[in-house]
Amino acid sequence: MDAALLTAAAITPAVAERLARLLVRVYPAEKTVGEMTAHILTYLGTLANFRAAVIENDDEVLAVAAGVTRLIRHGATGDTEKIIALFAVATHPQFRGRGYGAAVVKAQFARAGHDAPSALWQTAVPVFYEKIGAVRVRNRFVNSRNLSAPDANPFWEPAVMVYPPAAWRDHDEVIDLLGVGY
């Protein structure tokens, strides 16, 4: 099944609530549905090039992968580069194993080479992404904007991945996320 790629303008309060229901179901500790709906609607306006890849039925969002563009800084050269930051990847528990997760992520991967050269994200499930062509990278990540701990890793999941592999040439560099992990 193909995923739809929604812009921020397409995220009406009703769509935000359906997204919130899925995200709260998959990540239950974080927020209530009402809080998550409000967060999505407030947060969207602050994000660059936001897109939500979704698969929906008449009532629910069954799978989502969100992506925005952000800048990173390469340690060796000091150059900044735009990347697609992937986050909020989730499939409804009753609809897993049908290819929906892969479809929404592939819709974000299709932005690579257009909106930014590559996508970069953290994950606890690298094998899921490896099956659709992503690779794990071993760079050290920092956030120079974290003034109290500028050398600390801003990511918290065990793996950091990129897509497409050929666009990632900086295997040994320190990468500055220039902001919080996502």
Ligand X SMILES: CC(C)(COP(=O)(O)OP(=O)(O)OC[C@H]1O[C@@H](n2cnc3c(N)ncnc32)[C@H](O)[C@@H]1OP(=O)(O)O)[C@@H](O)C(=O)NCCC(=O)NCCS
Instruction: Tell me the chain's radius of gyration from C-alpha atoms.
Output: 16
85 part of the interface to ligand X, by CB under 6 A: no
Q: Measured from the CB atom, is 131 or 169 closer to ligand X?
A: 131
Among 66, 85, 91, 175, binds ligand X (CB under 6 A): 91
Residue indicated by tokens 């590559």: 118
4 part of the interface to ligand X, by CB under 6 A: no
Ranges within 127-146 binding ligand X (CB under 6 A): 127-128, 131
CA dihedral 178, 114, 54, 155 (to 10 degrees): -20
Q: Measured from the CB atom, is 96 or 145 closer to ligand X?
A: 96
125 part of the interface to ligand X, by CB under 6 A: yes
Taking alpha carbons only, the member of 171, 166, 159, 86 closest to residue 124 is 159
Residues 8-47, mask of contacts with ligand X (x by CB under 6 A): ------------------x---------------------
89 part of the interface to ligand X, by CB under 6 A: yes
Which residues neighbour 123 within 8 Å (Cβ) at sequence distance 6 or greater? 89, 129, 157, 159, 160, 161
Spatial separation of the C-alpha atoms in residues 148 and 82, rounded to whole Å = 25
Footprint of ligand X (CB under 6 A) = 26, 63, 89-91, 96-102, 123-125, 127-128, 131
